[in-house]
């Protein structure tokens, strides 16, 4: 074990990457959703549902893979309700998302208490372990952070690349962007607006569910009420900081993760600065980013707008 500055830096970077993983996963999903024109504030609910169902299926089957599947389905369950409400029923997407956050928090807390009662020793589920990649993990500082992590982290890097290719290099990705920028034009060009948005919502559920699963299947190994405690909202922050670009989302998530990791470190070292100062950073930076993006508007033009086909 190395000590001194290098040791601290190494540990800090590794922790940042771990903290960034669930945020990146959920952020990727939300990127698809927002690019297609659906602003889903219900990301918190998606992650929470993913965390709950991944825990439940991993607990009862003792299988990580089935746990993952459960997590994805749990996320999709919430995101598809949101998709249906926003695409088919054209309701206010923000309020629908907010309602789903309440619903997911209620359902997961309720069923968790129902299944396990009020216990002090929390039931545990199997967790994934770190896999060191030979040679690469020996690189100083960045080696342990990027190449000695659990499979989730590697999967996340892979998905970032994949999402970039899909969003920017395939026809389907361009269709998603067209749907979010100008649904009527997309419709006229023969793209199914509702179909595209449903698929984006589905992806949002899968990714958000994976992000939630990371909390239970990799970070903690157990579930508790409101386990996400606002991570879904931070993932929304990450999407804006990352300018709705997969690589940007990853970078933003690592930045936010670093702030979080730094704050833990500061707390244990006993600095006199309240940890809230660091907690506040990501939010303040987001406001500043919104402020500085005045004029060069990168927001999808039809974000949050229902598309009603026969209206003019």
Binding site residues, another protein, CB under 8 A: 39, 41, 81, 85, 89-92, 94-96, 98-107, 109-110, 113-114, 225, 230, 233, 236-237, 240, 274, 276-277, 279-280, 283-284, 286-287, 290-291, 294, 297, 299, 303-304
In angstroms, give the least distance from the CB of 158 to another protein: 28
**Structure tokens, 5:** 């500055």
Taking the least distance from each CB to another protein, the nearer of 129 and 298 is 298
Taking the least distance from each CB to another protein, the nearer of 131 and 290 is 290
In angstroms, give the least distance from the CB of 276 to another protein: 4
In angstroms, give the least distance from the CB of 298 to another protein: 12
Exposure b/e, 108-143, CB count within 10 A at least 16 = b: bbeebeeeeeeeeeeeebebbeeeeeeeebeeeeeb
Upper half-sphere CA count for residue 307 (Cβ side, 13 Å): 29
Taking the least distance from each CB to another protein, the nearer of 137 and 275 is 275
Taking the least distance from each CB to another protein, the nearer of 186 and 238 is 238
Phi-psi region for residue 195, left (φ > 0), alpha (ψ -120 to 50) or beta? alpha
In angstroms, give the least distance from the CB of 91 to another protein: 4
In angstroms, give the least distance from the CB of 249 to another protein: 15
Contacts (Cβ under 8 Å, ≥6 apart) of 160: 24, 28, 246, 247, 249, 250
CB atoms within 10 A of CB 66: 14
Taking the least distance from each CB to another protein, the nearer of 131 and 301 is 301
Cα separations in angstroms, 28 against 25, 61, 239, 240: 5, 28, 8, 11
In angstroms, give the least distance from the CB of 117 to another protein: 9
Taking the least distance from each CB to another protein, the nearer of 13 and 76 is 76
């Amino acid at each position: 074990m190395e000590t001194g500055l290098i040791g601290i830096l190494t540990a800090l970077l590794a922790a940042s990457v771990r903290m960034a993983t669930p945020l990146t996963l959920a952020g990727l999903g939300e990127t698809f959703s927002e690019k297609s024109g659906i602003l889903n504030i219900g990301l918190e609910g998606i992650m929470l549902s993913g965390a709950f169902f991944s825990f439940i299926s991993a607990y009862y089957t003792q299988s990580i893979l089935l746990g993952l599947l459960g997590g994805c389905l749990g996320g999709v369950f919430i995101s598809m309700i949101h998709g249906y409400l926003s695409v088919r029923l054209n309701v206010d997407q923000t309020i629908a998302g907010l309602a789903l956050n309440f619903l997911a928090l209620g359902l997961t807390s309720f069923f968790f208490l129902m299944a396990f009662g009020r216990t002090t020793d929390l039931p545990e589920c199997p967790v994934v372990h770190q896999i060191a990649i030979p040679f690469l993990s020996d690189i100083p500082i960045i080696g342990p952070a990027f190449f000695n992590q659990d499979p989730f982290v590697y999967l996340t890097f892979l998905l970032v690349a994949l999402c970039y290719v899909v969003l920017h290099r395939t026809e389907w990705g361009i269709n998603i962007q067209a749907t979010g920028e100008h649904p009527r034009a997309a419709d006229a060009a023969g793209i199914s607006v509702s179909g595209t948005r449903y698929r984006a919502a589905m992806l949002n559920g899968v990714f958000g569910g994976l992000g939630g699963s990371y909390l239970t299947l990799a970070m903690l190994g157990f579930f508790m009420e409101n386990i996400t405690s606002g991570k879904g909202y931070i993932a929304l922050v990450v999407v804006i900081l990352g300018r709705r670009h997969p690589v940007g989302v990853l970078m933003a998530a690592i930045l936010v993760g670093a702030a979080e990791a730094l704050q833990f470190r500061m707390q244990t070292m006993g600095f006199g600065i309240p940890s809230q100062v660091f907690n506040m950073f990501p939010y303040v930076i987001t406001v500043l980013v919104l402020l500085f993006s005045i004029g060069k508007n990168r927001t999808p033009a039809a974000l949050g707008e229902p598309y009603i086909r026969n209206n003019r």
